[in-house]
Structure 1
Amino acid sequence: MNAETLRRLNLAGFIITLLTVIVALIWAFPLYWGVITSLKPEDEVVRPYIELWPDTLTFSHYYFALTQTDIGRWYLNSIVTALSITVLTVLSSLFCGYALSQLNFPFRNALWWLILASFMVPTQTLIVNHFELIARLGLVNTWAGIVLPQLIHPVIIIVYKQFFDGVPKDFREAAVMDNASEWRILTRIYIPMNWGVTAALSIVTFIWSWNAFLWPFLAVTRTEMMTITVGITQVNDAFGIYYARELTAAVLAGLPVAVAYLIFQRRVTEAITLSAGIKG
């Protein structure tokens, strides 16, 4: 490789890096703006010009959100519902994926095609049916009413099935020869060989559940039963909306998933890649 080619590659690498940095800054600016605005007094927020740094730094809006709202209860609701959705979704998808991959039972292919076809049905089209069912069961304004309609994630079943299909048949045949039960085969062979997938799917499912807004907004009308994503819309008072308070609540709502993403970034990226590969 001659010097001219190296110079061209270096120039191309510099341009790509520069574009990446510019795109990253554009993406991150709204996050920066939200955090900075939450640290400004309200009179600075409503000024007609842009200030990238507050003249007066204040934490009064965080004090207000933490002491004058039900944010503690909203956090509890979000933690309970998000964890419940994550555990139930991952477990049910794991069992379903294993059955579709390894067991022979009537209408297995029909069930598999039904799961694949579910991608053609937008979740929003089921909202009315879900609400009517939950209302008839008396589950409005309950944790169960928030959790149950959000347990449908066909992509997780498909990911599990594909990974179980990829496990060498020799392991199953050896276990069958030792008279191992299906439960033992699943828990001793298939699950341990796919712990990474389970961890990645659990993390991304929790983040999806925590960030959900539409269904929790419809299923809950009582303030004390709201999740954090819905509850932050209530951070106002009789004098109207305070933008700094609203953004403070939004920052507090997004903080747990931001921390979770930073800690488990590799697993989240892996799960998104798996999901994108299935949908593609």
Structure 2
Amino acid sequence: MTTITQPQTAEPKGAVNGAKLFNRLCAVCLTLFALIWLVPFVWALITSLRDDASITQSPTSIFAGGWSLDAYSTAWDNHPIGTWYLNSLVISVLAVIFTVAFCSMAGFALAFLRFRGRGLVMAVATAGLMLPTEALVLPQFIEYRSFHLLGTFWALVLPSVAAPISVFVFHSFFRGIPTALIEAARIDGASWWRVYANVCMPICRPAVSTVAILTFISSWNAFLWPLLVLSQTKSQTIPVGLASLVDPSSPQYAEVMASSVLGFIPLIAVFLVFQRQIVQGIATTGIK
């Protein structure tokens, strides 16, 4: 018995060359943008290893004056950077825990539950994406002052919990879960809480990782709101504390750069460790 094989149609040579050219163009653009983003970090690192005299005399010379770690020891000994690290870590971790918990429940409710006013809640969440953070500073300040929360970590944690973008990430992921799986759990007698905790949350680990990492980074980098809320030096976070080190009258370039490097090292470490989870979470929530 003979089998007839269908001839394979080869792609046109022009299409193959066009695909290769496009891939090379994308690689060149990616490399160019990576270099643009990498230059400030490398410059800060090199400047932090030099002394102030050589920086003042020849700012663009990389090897002038030699390299040393004196600026790091001076910055660590003269300023409570360790306390600022701890404050930022506590605030960021609490923000991640509460944001993942509440935003996942909100996204689950908008995805599966049918209740009166659901469209209004969705519209309000959508409107929250359009409001700039600066427009909410004054109302939030008056609100938290009335609750006597100014000067506490809760004034920094609670505003980050109401994150519309996190709600939409979870909502998008939950909408991708097959409805038959939810209906089967409901037929077996599972409550909505069990469906959420035992069925949906174990599946949406990429979304949890994405929201957790992005919340951690945004909470760690927050500057304006912590500057207004936290008044004591020992309760400040890393961005606010680093800004207080800049003295216009007598700038200590190496010390400021060393403090900046100490400030963004944790973020780079978090991204390098969890970059696969970030890409996987964003790609999964965007595919229907």
> TM-score surpassing 0.5?
yes
2-side partners of 1:170 and 1:22: how far apart?
46
Specify whether residues 206 and 43 from structure 1 end up closer, same or farther in structure 2 by C-alpha distance, changes over 3 A only: same
Q: For residue 269 of structure 1, what is the aligned residue in structure 2? A: 279
1:116 is paired with a residue whose SS is helix
Q: For residue 186 of structure 1, what is the aligned residue in structure 2? A: 196
Q: Deviations over 1:226-246 (max 9, x none)?
A: 001111122257973211111
Q: Percent identity?
A: 31
Q: CA deviation at 1:17?
A: 4.0
> Is 1:169 aligned with 2:179?
yes
| Structure 1 unpaired stretches of 5+ | none
> Is 1:195 aligned with 2:208?
no
Q: CA deviation at 1:6?
A: 7.2
Q: Deviations over 1:144-178 (max 9, x none)?
A: 12222222210111121122122112112211221
1-side partners of 2:74 and 2:281: how far apart?
37
Q: For residue 124 of structure 2, what is the aligned residue in structure 1? A: 114
Letter of the 1:228 partner, please give it: I
Letter of the 1:130 partner, please give it: Q
Q: CA deviation at 1:274?
A: 7.3
Q: Deviations over 1:202-258 (max 9, x none)?
A: 111111111111111111111111001111122257973211111111110100010
Alignment length, in residue pairs? 277
The residue correspondences of 1:140-155 to structure 2 (distance < 5 A) are 140-155=150-165
Query: 2:155–2:229: 8 Å Cα contact kept in structure 1?
Result: yes
> Is 1:230 aligned with 2:240?
yes
Q: CA deviation at 1:77?
A: 0.6
The residue correspondences of 1:44-123 to structure 2 (distance < 5 A) are 44-123=54-133
Q: CA deviation at 1:201?
A: 1.5
Query: 1:40–1:244: 8 Å Cα contact kept in structure 2?
Result: yes
Q: Deviations over 1:81-111 (max 9, x none)?
A: 0111111111100011111111122211211
Q: CA deviation at 1:20?
A: 3.9
| Structure 2 unpaired stretches of 5+ | 1-10
Q: For residue 215 of structure 1, what is the aligned residue in structure 2? A: 225
Q: Deviations over 1:13-68 (max 9, x none)?
A: 55654454344323211111100000000101112451123431111110012121
Specify whether residues 110 and 4 from structure 1 end up closer, same or farther in structure 2 by C-alpha distance, changes over 3 A only: closer
Q: For residue 43 of structure 2, what is the aligned residue in structure 1? A: 33
2-side partners of 1:115 and 1:4: how far apart?
47
Query: Higher Cα Rg: structure 1 or 2?
Result: 2
Q: Deviations over 1:60-79 (max 9, x none)?
A: 11001212111111011100
Question: Which of residues 253, 261, 285 is equivalent to 1:251?
Answer: 261
Q: CA deviation at 1:271?
A: 4.8
Specify whether residues 21 and 118 from structure 1 end up closer, same or farther in structure 2 by C-alpha distance, changes over 3 A only: closer
Query: 2:44–2:257: 8 Å Cα contact kept in structure 1?
Result: yes
Q: For residue 139 of structure 1, what is the aligned residue in structure 2? A: 149
2:204 is paired with a residue whose SS is helix
2-side partners of 1:214 and 1:87: how far apart?
22
Letter of the 2:102 partner, please give it: S
TM-score w.r.t. structure 1 length? 0.89
Q: CA RMSD in A?
A: 2.6
Q: Comparing 6-15 with 163-172, which one deviates more in the overlay?
A: 6-15
